[in-house]
Amino acid sequence: MASRAAENRAAATPMAARVRAAVLWRSGSQIAGQLVMWSSTFLVLRLLAPADYGLFAMTQVVIGLATLLNGFSFAAALVRVERLDTHRAGQVFGVLILLNFGLALAQLLAAPWAAAYFHQPRLVAMLRVQSLLHLLTPFIIMPQALLAREIDFRTQGRANLVAAAAGAITAPLCALAGFGVWTLVAAPLALFGTRALMLGLLGRWWIRPRFAIAGAGDLLAYGGTVLVSDILWFVQNQADIVIAGRHFGAAALGCYSEGLFLTQLLVNKFVPALNEVAFPSYARLQAEQGAVGESFARAAGAIMLVALPCYAGLAATAAPLILAVMGPRWADAIPIVRVLALAMPFVTLHILYPPATNALGRPGIAARATAAGAVLLPLAFLVGVRFGPVGMAAAWLATMPVLLAISTYLSLPVLALPARRLGAQILPPLLAATLMGLAVALADRLLPALGPWPRLGLLVALGVLSYGALAWLVARPVVRTAFAMVRGRGAAA
């Protein structure tokens, strides 16, 4: 476990400074790591075929379901408790080992069934090799939870950067060597293995696992509730691949899954990193009446100030972006990306709520909201699949506003946050981003014939300049609040 000296230093540091440093390290390392990974990813996209990504997407359904059962929710309970001793931490570590080694065995045995469901025999060998990921998972989750408890994301950031470099080097080397779809199997193994090793070396943690759970009822009860929410979230977000995998060919599924990957970069890569910092930060504020709600409003405003123009720009520049970065073979993903980009603002705000409500000891709120999604989204996908990949994208756009309304209705009373206060943080950036998106779309129509790269460069420059001006005109208070938070003068969260 982290040393007593480290705990004393953390306790002596003001909360706002600790959170600011955590955000800078977590988001900064995430950005740097993703830049490294993207340079590799987009190179590999040009070397592999859409069908390879379709096969990989099918394996991710199985791995994603197993990941929900890996015990992360029980480790998260360690972040929230006021006092933590090595015995209780050892009990959680024991649970992590039992769960993940069991998952590895289950995936080995279930691989033929998954291959039969998707009508893809190659999945058997892929899933069996990928079961190694589960064996590494306890040695990643445990140190991450202990470091998050101390709001120490510097150590995590350093480990993640080295792991990202390992994955980024492995992927193109394998692709150039002609490994094909196995490139997509090898890179995550290199990333996970390196992350586990670096967290062990840099985190300097060691806890003896304990397999008797007597006295850990509160941790397991909290973790179990979060686990239910996570399972429902999986159903909500993986139902599209489960449904489309039986109706589309591998190439069509690859275009859809990579279009979804592109539009969900912020949602899947950056927002979760901020949520990791937000959860322990909100937990420290839970005793202060109204502090979590106000901090949530400010944080949501700052995140949407950055996210909304990205989504609007993505919708407006989908064609030159995909042709320039991914290549002509991915042209079928263009209409998919345009539709999905319009749904992502709703997804982003929707996933900001759980860290705040969970920190207040109300994990049932997130579970109820995701239960609604686990019903509505699969139903929408069953309709959308009849209209091909674009129909699946339209299902996201039709359903996510409804889910956001449900999660907002459930969460705001718990946060003691008036809707008008949240609206004051969200609506001005939304207006600025919408106007910017319309301006870029109009410019795209008026530009003469150009290659994808020059066209993309001109449109991005126009979008950056126009959004900067519009945000200063219509969202100035939100901009000032965001800058104050970055400088460490805003709310702690």
Every domain of the chain and the residues it spans: 1-215, 227-493
pLDDT at 5: 43
Residue 65 to residue 152: CA distance in whole angstroms: 29
pLDDT at 203: 81
pLDDT at 237: 74
- Whether 202 has a pLDDT exceeding 70, the answer reads yes
- Whether 9 has a pLDDT exceeding 50, the answer reads no
422 CB-side CA count, 13 A? 19
pLDDT band at 19 (very low <50, low <70, confident <90, very high): low
pLDDT at 148: 80
Pick from 124-128, 248-252, 446-450: least confident: 248-252
pLDDT at 12: 45
Helix (H) or strand (E) holding 465: helix 452-474
Scanning the structure block, which residue is given the tokens 């699946």? 392
Cβ distance 389 to 53 under 8 Å? no
- Whether 2 has a pLDDT exceeding 50, the answer reads no
Residue 268 is classified by DSSP as I
- Average pLDDT of 447-461? 94
Cβ distance 441 to 316 under 8 Å? yes
pLDDT at 205: 77
Which pTM does this prediction carry?
0.70
Pick from 12-26, 192-206, 295-309, 391-405: least confident: 12-26
Tell me the pLDDT tens digit for each residue of 330-367: 999 999 999 999 999 999 999 999 888 888 878 789 88
What six digits make up the tokens of 22? 């955590």
pLDDT at 14: 54
Give Cα 242 distance to the centre of its chain. 19
What Cα–Cα distance (Å) separates residue 318 from each residue in 38, 39, 259, 321? 17, 19, 10, 5
Tell me the pLDDT tens digit for each residue of 308-321: 999 999 999 999 99
pLDDT at 10: 46
- Average pLDDT of 454-465? 96
pLDDT band at 242 (very low <50, low <70, confident <90, very high): confident
pLDDT at 370: 84
pLDDT at 341: 97
